Amino acid sequence: MQRIMMIAGVLVLLVAGCTSAPQPAQDAGMAQAQQSMVVWEDFETKPFWFAVANAWNDDDSSLETRWNRQEATHGTASLEGVFRMNGKNGATFYTEEPEMNDFSPYKNLVVDFVNKSDKDLEVALVLCTGADWVWHESATVVLAPGENRDVYFDLTGSNWKCAASNWQFTAQVADIQSVRRVAFKFWGPEGLESSVLVDNVRLEKK
């Protein structure tokens, strides 16, 4: 009887070992995925981001930026961009001369957005690079009303538009090791007046 109980005990230990063995590998995989992301901007301190508004004389639909310390997808604060879509141009919110300006080691920029309107929005990432601040604009991504977490913008593909590509989405970002301005440009139905939250801006390593 003791022999049977001993064998049963060994089997239980073996089964337990087999079922629990993969856990360290899974944990390591999760840790590796987290380590591949670098937080570029989390808006936990007062951000130096601006609305274009009338500054560029291009009929931009942005009105102002706010530091929102009540709503966030990560941490306790976010950037809020307020707009009134005028049907002529999108709403652009930007920062310049970022401290971390070399994007060459990274393959994606990943962002959380909260669309506070009740309509779909579209958003593009804009990178101005090099000594001439060359404008590169990504293809747009649709943002449904509410939270839109982990929105990816490919930094390495040939799917950007700029003057050199005759504003066709066939270019790569030139001088990506020298990013001078980062902007998010939003479009929505004419007359739409609302805001969008931007948070947890990350760079994913190659």
Domain 38-205, CATH class in plain words:
mainly beta
* pLDDT of res. 32: 55
Terminal C-alpha separation, the chain: 60
Instruction: Spell out where 45-192 has E strands.
Output: 50-51, 62-68, 78-84, 91-96, 106-115, 121-129, 134-138, 141-143, 146-154, 160-161, 179-187
The confidence band for 35, taking pLDDT boundaries of 50, 70 and 90, is confident
The mean pLDDT value for 156-162 works out to: 97
Given a cut of 80, whether residue 101 has pLDDT beyond it is yes
Residue 137's closest CA among 149, 153, 114? Answer: 153
The predicted structure's pLDDT at residue 13: 38
Q: Which residues contact 113 (CB under 8 A, 6 or more apart)?
A: 123, 143, 147, 148, 151, 196, 197, 198, 199
Q: pLDDT tens-digit profile of 165-177?
A: 999 999 999 999 9
6, pLDDT greater than 70: no
Would you state the pLDDT for residue 15? 41
Q: Binning pLDDT at 50, 70 and 90, where does residue 66 land? A: very high
List all residues 6 or more positions away from 27 whose beta carbon is below 8 Å from its beta carbon.
none
C-alpha to C-alpha distance for 74 and 201, rounded to whole angstroms: 10
Structure letter (DSSP) for residue 54: T
Q: Locate the domains of the chain by residue range.
A: 2-35, 38-205
Contact 176, 107 (CB under 8 A): no
